[in-house]
Structures are given as C-alpha cells and as structure tokens.
Amino acid sequence: MAVEQPHDVPPRDDLPTAEATGLRWQAATVDQLHNWAALIARTAAVEHPAWFEKSGDLVHILESTTNDARTNTLLGLDGDGVARAYGRIIKNPDGDKASGMGCVDPGWQRRGIGSAVLAWQEARTIERFTADAGSGHLASPPRLRVRTEEQHRHQAVLLESRGYAAVRWFNEMHRPLSIPVPLAPLPPGLQLRTLDSSLHEPVRLAHNDAFRDHWGSEPRDRESWRFTMEEPTARHDWSTVAIDTASGTVAGYQLASFDPDAAADRGFTEGYTELLGVRREFRGRGIAQALLADAMRRFAAAGMDMASLDVDSANPTGALGLYVGMGYTPVNRSITWEKLL
C-alpha cells in the first residue's frame, strides 16, 4: 500500500492541549497509518459497529485534496506514541454542512478526550465555512453533523451534552438469501450491465441526479467518486447499471461491496448495497426492484448468507417501503446528530 503526502505539515495552533487530555496531538500522516488503523480496529473490537474504517479508507483520507488531512484530521498519541484518539471533518467547498468522524480508545474514554476532539471538530468546521465564504457573507450557518449507531449510547450522551440534536434516523436492513429471490424483471427498453471503468463517470452523473432530492446529499465530485470506485471492499462484479437502450442514458445503478473482516466479526457473510439510485424520469417502473433482485442473485451465487443495505427512514422516494417489499427487515438503527455553530 502506497500513498504520497506532502511532508511540509504546517504548524497547527488549533490542537487540544496535552495538559487537558494527556495526549500529544498531530495531524494524521502516512507514517502513522498503521497506528491510526490499529486504534480504529481496537475500538471496533469493543464497540462492534456495523462498519469501521480500514487502512484502505484511511489512505483515501490522506490522498484527499478537498479535505487536506494536514488540517482536517487529528490524532492523539500517548507517551509511547500509541494512537489513542482521532477525529476528522469533511466538507465540500460549497456544501451547507460538515461531517465529523472519530473515535477514542475504549481504555482512554471518560477522560474528556472525546469532548476535546468534538470541540476541535466544531472549531475546524467554523474555519472551513469562513474560508469557503472568502470575503463574502456565509451562505448558511456553519453546521456539523455526526452519525452514531443507536447502540452506542455513550456517544449520544456526549453529543447531547454539547447541544446536538438528533435530526435523522437510518435503518440497516438485512434479507436472508436462503429465501427465494423475488421476480423483478427489468422493464422493456432497458438493459443491465455489470459495472466497468467506462461506466464510472456516467454513473457518477446519474448518482448526482438521482440523489439531488435526498436529505443531506451533496453532489459527488470526481475525487470523491474515484474514492468510491476504489473503495477496498467494492465489488464491481456484483454492481450493475440499468441503461436506457434508446438513449444510452444510465437510468439506475446498484453499487455493491463485501467486507470479509465484517463477516468474521458478525458471523455471517453479506453482499452490501452501498448505493442504489434511479433517475427521476425513470422512477415508478420497477428499476430499483430489478437492480436489487439482480444483486441478490449475484450475492447468492457468490455464497453470501445475506443481502444488506442502509436506508434513510424518511427517504422521499419511499425506499424503506421498497426494501420491506423486497423482503428486507430492519436490524440496526443509526442517528444523525446536528449542531448549528
């Protein structure tokens, strides 16, 4: 695994203090990659999230130009140089929100470190909004969103104590592949193609169009879409694109993944639908059902136990009802928290 990152890391005066936290703080860097990944894995082994960042995901963070890791990440090291906490934010230059991610080593929780990371994320969010506005007025008030799983009550307590409100709920849904796949043929005039590199850009454009009416969604630029396509767990051979044969337009798509580490932790294998979208003008024709049924057949042929996905409980396209109708059931819930800064 190789990643290039500039060595001229600028001085930072925004870091939490060692006196308050017992940790030495710095930006995440290439030489801390394995230390950083080990912290996240150690935390996940105790907290058992449905998903957590692996080394390949962290490489993409270090490669980002939109969200430069030198100023948008934070890593806390103990006296022996072991990573004990991390935080980061991401924000699109013209976006109306920033999103925060991070974790604290379970053995170092309840020491105020999580509060220090969150305070830094809030301050950095304000800086990003201010910088994006330039000399003009802020187009929208700085807001920070953080997503947690409902099972992680300690994170909710921290967020509530700092003035965050729950604004959206998402359901993780599973469908056993031992149940026969429903019949859901693709409508006439459309054809299914397995995802390949020639479709990456057309699917990006279709995604931006399909998700423009979804809460919290912002257009994906080429960099962020490249990271999506190069995601270590991505399975392009399980991913399909519905194409209108008359115009060649991408009508809909389904992007799948498989995480073998999650399979070992959760005790079953799952084909995961990371993204499913249908352009507005093609909705109501059964394309989403056809894409899901095709995905299930591919997952089952590969020996998966389960088909899984995540859905906004208030999705305007009625996706929750669609998935229930295809045999999916909710198994876990996550919450998006928001604070206006």
Give me the residues of the chain with pLDDT under 50, please: 1-2, 6-7
Query: Are 49 and 141 part of one and the same domain?
Result: yes
Query: Are 129 and 224 part of one and the same domain?
Result: no
Distance CA 25, CA 87 (A): 11
Of 131, 146, 161, which closes a domain?
146
Domain total in the chain? 2
The beta strands (E) that lie in the chain are given as 24-26, 73-77, 83-90, 98-104, 143-149, 165-176, 190-194, 234-244, 250-257, 270-278, 306-312, 329-340
CATH assignment at residue 290 = 3.40.630.30
Task: List, in order, residues 6 or more apart from 242 with CB less than 8 Å away.
Answer: 186, 190, 191, 192, 250, 251, 252, 253, 278, 282, 287, 290, 291
The b-or-e profile of 273-288 (16+ CB within 10 A means b, else e) is bbbbbbbeebeebbbb
Specify if 238 maps to a domain: yes
Q: Is 134 left (phi over 0), alpha (psi -120 to 50) or beta?
A: left
pLDDT score of 317: 56
Side-chain-side CA neighbours of 219 within 13 Å: the count stands at: 9
**pTM of the entire predicted model:** 0.88
pLDDT score of 42: 97
pLDDT score of 7: 45
pLDDT score of 10: 56
pLDDT score of 315: 59
The domain in which residue 109 lies consists of 18-146
Q: State pLDDT tens for residues 134-160.
A: 877 777 899 999 999 999 999 999 999
